[in-house]
Structure 1
Amino acid sequence: MWSQKLMWIAWPAFLGACALELLVFAMLDPGDLHWSGEPLRLSRQGVYTAAFFVFWAICTVSSALTNLLGMSSAEVNRCPMLPGERPDNCRPQ
């Protein structure tokens, strides 16, 4: 179940990061980027790679929040404890 949810989060995030990478670097050149007034010390490929992973992380958070908000109340409120360890107000899975 967790591997399926992970793919529901990671795959759309990967596709979103790909789209962002294409859009952002179609508009600007990585060689022209500056940080604190100085040029970046990364190669163009390094900037592409770092930006992709930043975009992927941002899209992963977005996909995870979408997945969390799409959960039913039964999924959110289920009790993961074993039957002998459950408090009285904890419903079985």
Structure 2
Amino acid sequence: FQRMAPDLDYAVNRYRREAERHYEVLDAQLGGRSFIVGDNYTIADMAAWGWIERARFVLPGSDDPLAAYQNIKGWFDHIDARPATQRARKV
């Protein structure tokens, strides 16, 4: 809605807030841990990385859309530095 129907204020606000709520849940989950589930890198981390990679698209208007989500930011940087992640970027 933010990009395709920005004149629909209700929809823009509703779905922007829902995206922020999801980021808040993930940020809380990552508090004090390296991975989303357990002590190991799993498919949950792989799947979430792709969505968090799009934070600038989902949360436009900031140079650092993850600034409010420090646990996500640290986790993302850790996952993003993995050699397999770098190979995935090239696909």
TM range (shorter): 0.3 to 0.5
Specify the structure having the higher radius of gyration (Cα). 1
Report the TM-score when normalising by structure 2.
0.32
Higher percent of residues as strand: 1
Greater relative contact order, per chain length (Cα 8 Å cut-off, separation 6+): 1
Report the TM-score when normalising by structure 1.
0.32
